[in-house]
Structure 1
Amino acid sequence: MDSSETYGNVQDHYAGIARRTAVEDHTGDYQEKVATAFGYKLEDLWSLPGSANLGVGCGNPLAIANVQKGETVIDLGCGGGIDVLLAANKVGPEGKAVGVDMTTDMLDLARRNAEKAGASNVSFVEAPITSIPLASSAADCIISNCVLNLVLQVDKPIVFREMFRLLKPGGRIAITDILARKPFPNEIRKNLSLYVGCIAGASEVRDYERFLRDAGFEGKLTDILRRTTRDLNVYREAFQAEQSDKSGGSRSQAPACSCCSTGSCCSAQTGESQGWAQSIPNLDFNEWAGSFQVYAIKPN
């Protein structure tokens, strides 16, 4: 599978989540369970439109971002808008929050949520995060939540260089992402269900450190990456809901973030990959990967 096909499957998966959420115009208990498991406060979630929290994150980047009034914050892979809207509240009317996403349906949903929230200091850009049409040195802070793992390994250094370009001198990145705890076997790396579900595309810690260093970020790299104690197995509920839906059971509110939103990418797999897809309900995600917080600074 080439890169365009891989990214196409990622877009299709998250476009399906966005369209389903737009129809329902709200999310449910599952999304709240995931968000609170990964560090969001209920009062912050309740301050947003109901369809902003899609339950597809792996942390809370704003918890480590130290966003201040008047700053410009860019959210890479903004999805339905949860983080970019929370950032907009923090920077206030004198600041700016910019959401970047490559999926049209997600941006449509995020724009509707921004309108519902009355967030006049929010704007959105449709673009891949490897090439963002914004001016250099535009941001005080760049945030991202469980998105960089969806970028192919060969393209990840490009994303880190793009973040470095967009930041003002002294600016910072605050990222939450899934990283591999040990090398994945090919059966995981090549499993499309696990790829769009944010597991199979995860980089190892040493690779992330290299991406940061090569892009020019400073800091004691062994201290930049901090593994959280969050339980990735919370995602299993999504897969189980998807399987129930396919077998004719009642649909839950889970967005199937650990498997495909349609049967297409699951059915495209063969042999050992199918076996891994079938084993997802019993797979201990915590054995293979973890939720990490990444904070780094662009030198002055």
Structure 2
Amino acid sequence: MAAVLTGALVIPLSAAARPEIPAPAPAALAPLTASTLDAAYAANRANAAEAARMADAHGDHYRAATDRALAGPARHLLFFDGRGSGKATEVLGDLAHADRVAVLVPGSDTGLDTYGRFRAGAVALHERLARQAPPGTRTAVVAWLGYETPGTVSTTVTTTGRAEQAAPHLRALVAGLRAAAGQEPKITLVCHSYGSVVCGRAAAGLDVDDIALIGSPGTGAGSVADLRTRARVWAARGAGDWVAHVPHVSADLFGTTVGFGTDPVSPAFGARVFAAGDGGHSAYFAPGSASLTNLARIVLGDTKAVTRD
């Protein structure tokens, strides 16, 4: 079964191992509040600029360009770590005054080298929210590359190990967002692919209002009730998404749990299933798509307008 699961998740994508890239340690920051946001943004931009210089000196000009872009004066980074595959948490919008906040949790093979692709989804959602939001509603999107994602060409992509390591960091992020916002925003987690396993591991007692699982191989839980969350749980899968062919099973092999259990779009799981159109695994944030429109409705709390399959 492990071979079947690995093949299903690995074959569609591939990633080459990268050598270690030097970068400074993350900036030391005061606890997040509305009044410390600007200082955090400035410190992380400075850290990214230094990481760009170090990557250039190392000869990795591609990474240096990514770091340099993140260090731009218009970028709002809550966290940055340029070491290894890299981590970053970026805010789009005015977090301190946002009424509605979406947190994007990425899946496998997401690092600083592929950050542009991940950020493009956050930008698309942010723009859609701006168009759909009622007058006076302020929104923000947080692109959270806050954990070491598994490679699709690896055994880690078939287990919950990386998700279990990531869950405390996602919990800390949500607490930080609530501390940084000037009011009590409604928070939605948008969890793509392996990111839905991370959200599943973090969900119990997490102070969020909605959890949207897209392109999910499973959460590691048998049902919404097993997630032990007060949040509304949503799920969608595009008609062209290869993840539909992943076996939805879970088994203990030599002390390691392989597989992620019940299909989140199945009636047995109990999520609110919404329409995602005909797109594939990477198309959930495509402009004009049914999935992006519905995700914006979920973030904005316009749940009656969400279309179903």
Which structure would you say has the larger RCO, counting Cα contacts within 8 Å and 6 or more residues apart? 1
**TM-score, normalising length: structure 2:** 0.30
Structure having the larger proportion of residues in helix: 1
**TM-score, normalising length: structure 1:** 0.31
